């Protein structure tokens, strides 16, 4: 996959999956525009000194003005990959409105606003483009969301947004898809679940390869897909 001379926004690019995605894009020749919430989020970012990485201080991506400013800095946007999100375990009986809204803001609102800004930027360029969102396994298998219903609902909304938007912008040459990972093999997840079979979890590098294809010019026909990346779990 050749991303030379292509500009890509990667929200959540400083995280575990984000670092894998940015690394793979850089190897393929892309220029990556990576927003961040605070300077501390960039300290351990492996690619922060790469000449084709453009770190952009945005604050929260639930702020539509901040999202608009981010996308205004990107010349000739080709693809936008939306990895920002948050997770919370809590039964419905113990989830108040503030906790529910936090999941909706972190997972759905950030994705929606980034999609909107990306579509507008791609429309200005008149060259089409690619959008890739991140749902989750519970977003597709609702019973798996027991004990985390707020998270599940917010990610299910991301999946629905992806499919609806894909239909809306296909005529403009913009292909919109999402991946739905199961629990990924990250240091944080290993620490939280030390007794689980980590070898069965999908690796972030493997999930990144699926994202790269969906975001690439090699993807000419796939749209409206929620690609399941479950590994052997």
Instruction: Kindly report the pTM of this predicted structure.
Output: 0.95
121: left (phi over 0), alpha (psi -120 to 50) or beta: alpha
Mean pLDDT of 23-30: 98
**How many CA atoms within 13 Å lie on the side-chain side of 72?**
7
- Is the pLDDT at 102 greater than 90? The verdict is yes
Assess if residue 218 is contained within a domain. yes
User: Which CATH number covers residue 100?
Assistant: 3.40.50.720
Residue 142's nearest CA partner among 134, 133, 154 is: 154
Q: What local confidence, expressed as pLDDT, does residue 9 receive?
A: 98
3-state secondary structure of 134: strand
Q: How many Å apart are CA 139 and CA 152, to the nearest integer?
A: 5
Whether 230 is catalytic:
no
The 10s digit of each residue's pLDDT in 123-141 is 999 999 999 999 999 999 9
Mean pLDDT of 187-215: 90
Q: Considering 3, 45, 71, 151, which one is annotated as catalytic?
A: 151
Q: Which two tokens stand for residue 212?
A: 């790269």
Q: What local confidence, expressed as pLDDT, does residue 183 receive?
A: 85
DSSP state of 218: T
Residue 14's nearest CA partner among 36, 30, 31 is: 36
Assess if residue 2 is contained within a domain. no
Assess if residue 147 is contained within a domain. yes
Mean pLDDT of 5-29: 97
Residues contacting residue 211 through CB under 8 Å, at least 6 positions apart: 21, 81, 132, 179
Least confident of 9-23, 42-56, 144-158, 193-207: 193-207
Q: How many Å apart are CA 42 and CA 102, to the nearest integer?
A: 23
* Cβ pair 156, 112 in contact under 8 A: no
Residue 59's nearest CA partner among 40, 82, 38, 83 is: 38
Q: How many Å apart are CA 73 and CA 81, to the nearest integer?
A: 16
Q: Which two tokens stand for residue 202?
A: 């999908």
- Is the pLDDT at 192 greater than 90? The verdict is no
84: left (phi over 0), alpha (psi -120 to 50) or beta: beta
**Alpha helix (H) ranges present in the chain?**
16-27, 64-72, 97-103, 110-125, 137-140, 149-169, 187-192, 204-215
Q: What domain count does the chain have?
A: 1
Q: What local confidence, expressed as pLDDT, does residue 87 receive?
A: 93
| C-beta atoms surrounding 48 within 10 Å | 15
* Cβ pair 135, 155 in contact under 8 A: yes
Q: What local confidence, expressed as pLDDT, does residue 59 receive?
A: 94
Assess if residue 1 is contained within a domain. no
Q: What local confidence, expressed as pLDDT, does residue 173 receive?
A: 98
Backbone angles phi, psi at 159, to 5 degrees: -60, -45
Q: How many Å apart are CA 6 and CA 9, to the nearest integer?
A: 10
* Cβ pair 130, 216 in contact under 8 A: yes
For 44, the domain range is 7-229
Mean pLDDT of 73-97: 96
Q: What local confidence, expressed as pLDDT, does residue 106 receive?
A: 97
């Amino acid at each position: 996959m050749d991303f030379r001379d292509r500009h890509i926004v990667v929200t959540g690019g400083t995280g575990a999956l984000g670092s894998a995605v940015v690394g793979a894009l850089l190897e393929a020749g892309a220029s990556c525009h990576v927003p961040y919430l605070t300077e501390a989020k960039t300290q351990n970012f492996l690619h922060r000194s790469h000449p084709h990485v453009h770190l952009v201080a945005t604050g929260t991506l639930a702020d539509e003005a901040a999202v608009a400013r981010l996308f205004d800095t990107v010349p000739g946007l080709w693809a936008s990959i939306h990895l920002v999100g948050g997770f919370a375990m809590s039964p419905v009986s113990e989830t108040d409105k503030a906790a529910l809204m936090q999941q909706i803001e972190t997972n759905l609102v950030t994705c929606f606003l980034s999609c909107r800004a990306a579509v507008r930027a791609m429309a200005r360029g008149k060259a089409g483009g690619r959008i890739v969102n991140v749902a989750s396994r519970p977003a597709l298998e609702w019973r798996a969301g027991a004990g985390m219903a707020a998270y599940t609902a917010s990610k299910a909304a991301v999946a629905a947004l992806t499919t609806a938007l894909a239909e809306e912008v296909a005529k403009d040459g913009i292909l919109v898809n999402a991946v739905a990972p199961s629990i990924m093999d990250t240091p944080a997840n290993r620490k939280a679940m030390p007794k689980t079979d980590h070898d069965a979890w999908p690796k972030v590098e493997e999930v990144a390869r699926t994202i790269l294809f969906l975001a690439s010019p090699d993807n000419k026909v796939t749209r409206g897909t929620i690609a399941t990346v479950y590994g052997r779990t």
